[in-house]
Amino acid sequence: MTVQSVLPNLRVPDKSAISVRIEVSSEVNISAFAARQLANQYLLHRIGDQVGALEPELVVGERLFWRLPVQYAPSLLGPLGIVGHLLVDAQSGEVVIDDERNINSLIDSAEVLYERAALSAGA
């Protein structure tokens, strides 16, 4: 069983108390900026220039990863939505697809978004 903690832009409501203690000792060789560059290069070579990685969030578990949403944004229609997520290892820079998906499933998700947008535009 893997335990993960994701703290994207931690926002706590007014008048609340929270105590979070996380101690991780690990080398982070890949910055958030570099992770996004690696993710976009990965996408460009495997899918094309109509998808791109958005802002990364640090995922702490057995290993440290940067998790990046993958947005489909065809040039004529603009951003249509998120088709999946990539993980970039914060130590090695290895890029993998999150959620046990593959490149074809990202492409399929993009096609569904495109078809919906085309139907909406034609309605």
Within a domain: 4:
no
Report if residue 98 sits inside a domain: yes
Q: Tell me the pTM.
A: 0.75
Q: To the nearest 5 percent, what fractions of the chain are helix, strand and coil?
A: 30, 25, 45
Whether residue 100 is contained in a domain is answered as yes
Tell whether 50 is covered by a domain: yes
Look at residue 56 and tell me if it is in a domain.
yes
Tokens of 21: 């203690």
pLDDT per residue as tens digits for the range 96-119? 998 888 988 989 899 899 888 887
Residue 11 lies in a domain: no
Q: What is the pLDDT of residues 31-50, one digit of tens each?
A: 999 999 999 999 999 998 99
Whether 101 is covered by a domain: the verdict is yes
Q: Is the pLDDT of residue 11 over 90?
A: no
Q: How far apart are CA 56 and CA 34, in angstroms?
A: 10
Does residue 94 register a pLDDT over 60?
yes
CA dihedral 9, 68, 87, 114 (to 10 degrees): 150
The structure tokens 């065809």 sit at 74
Residue 34 lies in a domain: yes
Model confidence at 8: pLDDT above 70: yes
Domain count for the chain, please give it.
1
Domain of residue 46 covers 26-122
For residue 68, give every residue at least 6 positions away whose Cβ sits within 8 Å of its Cβ, in sequence order, or none.
35, 36, 39, 53, 54, 55, 56, 57, 85, 86, 87, 88
28 compared with 120, residue with greater pLDDT = 28
Flag whether pLDDT at 123 surpasses 60.
Answer: no
